[in-house]
Amino acid sequence: MITAQDVVEIIREEGSEDAYKMSGLASSVSHSYFSTPAWRLIWHRSIWLISLMLFQSISSLIMGTYHSMIANHAIISFFLTMLIGTGGNAGNQSATLVIRGLINNEISRDNAMKVLWREFSIGLVIASLLVIFGFFRVYYFYHDVASAIAINLSLFLIVLMSMLLGAMIPIILERFNIDPAHSAAPFLLTLMDILGVLIYCFVCSKILV
């Protein structure tokens, strides 16, 4: 006999498990905060944070490669966090929508390409809107057309790439029978940090150098 309470409990457990995975925590952590031993919280949280910290150090290696360019164009460093943060937020929005669609069976392998095309189209519009505001933001304070173009072209590419990856990674994980919740923050944010720095430095090196 399956009661309504049993169904509610299962839904609650599944929701908690997905929330833990989307936050970079192992699903083996107890669903009760105070009933989970402190050592287990330290272990599961530190493993993810250490791994992501080491993974994110790739960004430092990329910036080191373009050290001379950054030194000659200080304006690049002023907007790095803005671009990376915007890209991470855009990608996380897409990932959340797709993960939710996969959980509700609204998104499946049959309509995956339709989803990716839709996110690409939406990404073009959103990235274009951000570029309009971003260009005037940069030019108003620094009156440098070349820098404004380089920064906002990077912004366009970063946001578009973030939204595509945010939609694509959960679908790929689901295809390999891996819980798509693993693709959400902080993994996606760390990945987009690295790709964002690479795109930003590459674009600026082609326009400003």
76-116 per-position pLDDT tens digit: 999 999 999 999 889 989 988 998 888 888 998 889 999 99
Is residue 201 within 8 Å of 67, Cβ to Cβ?
no
Q: Which of 56, 77, 57, 55 is nearest to 66 (CA)?
A: 77
28-60 per-position pLDDT tens digit: 555 566 777 888 778 877 887 888 888 888 988
Q: In sequence order, what are the residues at sequence separation of 6 or more whose Cβ sits closer than 8 angstroms to the Cβ of residue 36?
A: 29, 30
Q: How confident is the model at residue 183 (pLDDT cuts 50, 70, 90)?
A: low
Is the pLDDT at 196 greater than 90? The verdict is yes
pLDDT at 188: 76
Q: CA dihedral defined by 145, 189, 184, 36, rounded to 10 degrees?
A: -150
What domains are there in the chain, each with its CATH number?
58-207 (1.10.357.20)
143-165 per-position pLDDT tens digit: 899 999 999 999 999 999 999 99
Q: Look up residue 168 and give its two tokens.
A: 């694509």
Half-sphere exposure (Cβ direction) of 130: Cα atoms closer than 13 Å: 23
Q: Which of 158, 142, 145, 22 is nearest to 82 (CA)?
A: 158
pLDDT at 158: 96
pLDDT at 19: 53
Q: Per-residue DSSP letters for 71-102?
A: HH-THHHHTHHHHHHHHHHHHHHHHHHHHHHH
> In whole angstroms, what is the distance from residue 27 CA to residue 16 CA?
8
Question: Is this structure's pTM higher than 0.85?
Answer: no
List strand residue ranges (DSSP E) for 42-183, in order.
none
pLDDT at 173: 86
Q: How confident is the model at residue 18 (pLDDT cuts 50, 70, 90)?
A: low
